[in-house]
Amino acid sequence: MLTVFGILWVVIWALVLVDLFRRDWSTGIKVLWAIGMLILPVVGVLAYLIVRPPSSADVHGVVEPGDSHGAPTSDVERDRHPV
C-alpha cells in the first residue's frame, strides 16, 4: 500500500514540475520553486498548487496569444485545425 502512495506521489510531483517549467516565468523563479520542491517535497508541491496563478487554459480552456503550448502557430495550421 505504501508503494502505491509512493508511486502516486512521484507522479504528482513530476506533473507539478512539468507545469512549473511550462510557465512563462523567469528562470530564477522556476529554480527557486524547483529547489523548494526538492528540499520540502510535500510542503513545496502543496504550496505551489495553492499559490500558482491559473493559466488561461486552466480557466477558459483557451490559449492566449503569448501561450503557444500546442496552439497553431500560423494561419494555415489554424485553418486545418477544427474548432
Q: For 19-76, what is each residue's pLDDT tens digit? A: 999 888 899 999 999 999 999 988 999 999 899 887 766 666 665 555 555 555 555 5
R_g of the chain computed on alpha carbons:
16
Higher confidence at residue 81 or residue 21? 21
Residue pair 63/69 in contact (Cβ under 8 Å)? The answer is yes
Q: What pLDDT is attached to residue 4? A: 92
Please list, in sequence order, all residues whose beta carbon lies within 8 angstroms of the beta carbon of residue 66, skipping any fewer than 6 positions away: 24
Angle, helices 2-22 vs 27-39, to 10°: value is 170
Examine the pLDDT at 16 and tell me if it is beyond 70.
Answer: yes
Q: What is the C-alpha to C-alpha distance for residues 51 and 76, in angstroms, rounded to an integer?
A: 38
Q: What pLDDT is attached to residue 67? A: 52
